[in-house]
Amino acid sequence: MDSRTRVERTSDRELTASRTVQAPARLVFEAFARPELFRQWWIPQSMGLTLVSCEMDVRTGGGYRLEISHPAAPEPMAFFGRYIEVVPPSRIVWTNEEGEEGAVTTVTLEEADGATRVVVRDLYPSREALDAAMASGATGAWPEQFEALEALLADPGAAI
């Protein structure tokens, strides 16, 4: 695991992932908000998944829909929800509505000296929902996702 990424269960229902990336908050926000950038870092390559489609209307009241395929699955999996709070360049809150056990995700970006502390909090509806997410391995992808995010932000050709 990347030692710069911290992933911890902070309560019975909440998982927090954090890392400081070497980029200003406005650029980190863009990487979360622009579909053409988001699709470059969100899916961990080690999981064998492909982001088939990515629709995002990142504004308070907007929505998103991601379709992700896996070679062993006959059909892509859909992940969708709505943005309940968007405050550029410091905060994005969205719902995960693909199932009853979906979390509410809050991303906060705090800039200091040209670097940005990224904190992602997933609040699940129950202890059992978080337990299930952790057992599936879905919550363990953050170190790889943050690595990809930081690589994107460091790429001068990324058009951020």
Residue 47 has phi, psi (to 5 degrees) of: -85, -5
- Residue 41: predicted pLDDT: 95
At residue 2, does pLDDT exceed 60? no
Model confidence over 90-119: pLDDT tens digits? 999 999 998 888 899 999 999 999 999 999
At residue 159, does pLDDT exceed 70? no
| Percent of the chain's residues with pLDDT above 70 | 97
The predicted model gives 32-47 an average pLDDT of: 94
Model confidence over 125-149: pLDDT tens digits? 999 999 998 988 777 899 999 999 9
The predicted model gives 17-39 an average pLDDT of: 97
Report pTM.
0.92
